[in-house]
Structure 1
Amino acid sequence: MSRITAGPHRCSGRVEVFHGGSWSTVCDADFDQRDAEVVCRELGCGIPVEVLGSAAFGRGEEARLVNGSDSCSGRVELQYLSEWGTVCAVSWDMRAADVLCAQLDCGSAVAVVEVDWFGEGSGHIWADVFDCQGKETHLPQCGISSWSRAACSHKHNAGVICNGSSMAFHEGRVRLSGGSECQGEVEIYFRQDWRRLLLDSWSLSEASVLCRQLGCGSVLNYRSSPSTTEHKHMCVTGFSCSGSEAHLGNCSSAQPVNCSSGEQLYITCSGKRDNTYQ
């Protein structure tokens, strides 16, 4: 089984074959026009127009983040045929961002953002969609398909913030509002914005971790927020903790959702804040 990756569309790019349980790059010294005909026929791509050397589509390592505060945050840019181009935000997700951050030695992703963070790029908009599972170490290890270029412009360039960036410093902080120091509506700084937590996926385990993170002792109770005002931003749901963690960020990952999809969380902890675990 073969595939073509890291090119401007599904029928142009670097040739890889599935062997021994993983995808491997084909050496150009052993690849000729007849081999190319077989691959193109197998992939339903007609006949080969040109067979290029390995330099044409790189080694699968040509990716960068630009216009951020450091090399671990910025607009996503990929290099094909020695030319840098942007990618479309609608075809980019957190799993692909995690792989890119790992590839750049920047840890994992904390946010995927659009053009208002890192500005518009210029030149090509690559149509790649990376179907990553999140365990890969380089983007070319993910399955790659194509997105319609007509659906995107530089006004929708994707950006990524990795936890190795200084921009991720506040990620995972929590605060309470509408009550006292240790009682109130819960908000978490999640993917670079303050968001309310939803009650639907909450249990005593998560509540215990939250009170501990706030330095507010143990949990007394948690319930639906008495506030009737919908939070102006997205809410967060899906945290799953064992109860022993010191920080919500150590629990399994959550997801942003529309605030109207559930009741927001109000918590009461036992003690006054006595440290700065935030």
Structure 2
Amino acid sequence: VFADSGISAVVPLRLVNGPSRCAGRVEVLHNHQWGTVCDDSWDLTEARVVCRQLGCGTALSAPRESRFGQGTDRIWLHEVNCTGTEAALSECRARPWGEHNCNHVEDAGVVCSDSNIPDPGPLQLVNGPNRCAGRVEVLHNHQWGTVCDDGWDLTDAGVVCRELGCGTALSALGGAHFGRGSDTIWLDDINCTGTEAALTECRARPWGNNNCHHGEDAGVVCSDSALPHLAQVRLLNSPSRCAGRVEVIHNQQWGTVCDDGWNITDAGVVCKQLGCGTALSAPGWARFGQGSGPIWLDEVDCTGTEASLSECRAKPWGDHNCHHREDASVVCSGSGISEVAQLRLVNGPSRCAGRVEVLHNQQWGTVCDDNWDIIDAGIVCKQLGCGIALSAPGAGRFGRGSDRIWLDDVQCKGTEIGLSECRARPWGDNNCHHGEDAGVICTVHFILTRTSDFTECRDSRG
């Protein structure tokens, strides 16, 4: 539509850097110079006016943040606000020509129905059991690519499910839950409001701009997939998203998991669900700090084949006999934390006092008391969730072991997450005998024994 049509204030318009003349970055001509439109307040209403003006059918999406690349000339329009009845974009309310506080990262785009793009996006879920569950992939520049899970949540997943006509979102999965893609990672840092008609309308980095790898590919499970709800899980109080205190969401509230029966198999399901590799350890006793919300799960018993922790056998939600000192934790291989060898205290009066034994090459063995001190003992107590160390007895105080002596000349700094991270001779290299086996007594030992004494006293009195 040009000025000689009799419609005042109508200026030429074009869509550039898209797959066709009906999809791309919005540019308008003013003062004989093409310029872009800022995406502040940009939505489907404005996009419909553009598509109508160009004779490109109806609007499928109104992508923002330079989804079709950044312009290089003037930014002509800002805060465009159309009613939807206008014949041209230049008839919509907006700031005066050239007045804005934007940059080209905010250039607005449009996808119209006549663009030969089959769907808004378009979008598909792959590597799942059906079209309503799987890895999220979008088409750009005639190539399918994935979406990074940075910031990926149920609101974003809800837009995907609605766009595909798959109902509502049950789960927003990260960590390549439905396998790793192999093509371009098109979208990162997606942040939907939930009202968008298509994922491409959500705020995100420009196409292809990401700091991710395919181990972070996002996935979705929609209500029409016929799959059960995979309750979301997260790991907290650690520098890595793949290590920390286990928390699950139920009734829209996050809560912890009790460590009763918690083991490496249960931890493995969490790591798999989060796309964090395999489980290195399954510490209990609030190794990564105590939670403050509900304790949702107790006596979790996974087989290891489950896709989600919520699929494992457990007491009913919220039914437990625990406190937050028993919050379960996980360290996964994807955490960047080196493997923490399993550890136990044996031949003592409780699980928090006894002879130190570590597992290496699938065999339990002892620790020599050469240089063994309260700092080393403190790492053991922390690793076992047994509080702090009260003493570090040596000389086989809790009896002589009979298997290998795995560690000698242990020298911890006190910041390690597990005894196997401390400096020591190589595994099995020692000049010791079992009369030098190291032991530990932790503070929680006394909590356990006093609780037991109280229970016995109460029972004896009826």
**So what's the TM-score if we normalise by structure 1?**
0.50
Return the structure number with greater relative CO, CA threshold 8 A, min gap 6: 1
Q: Which has the larger radius of gyration?
A: 2
Identify, as 1 or 2, the structure richer in strand: 1
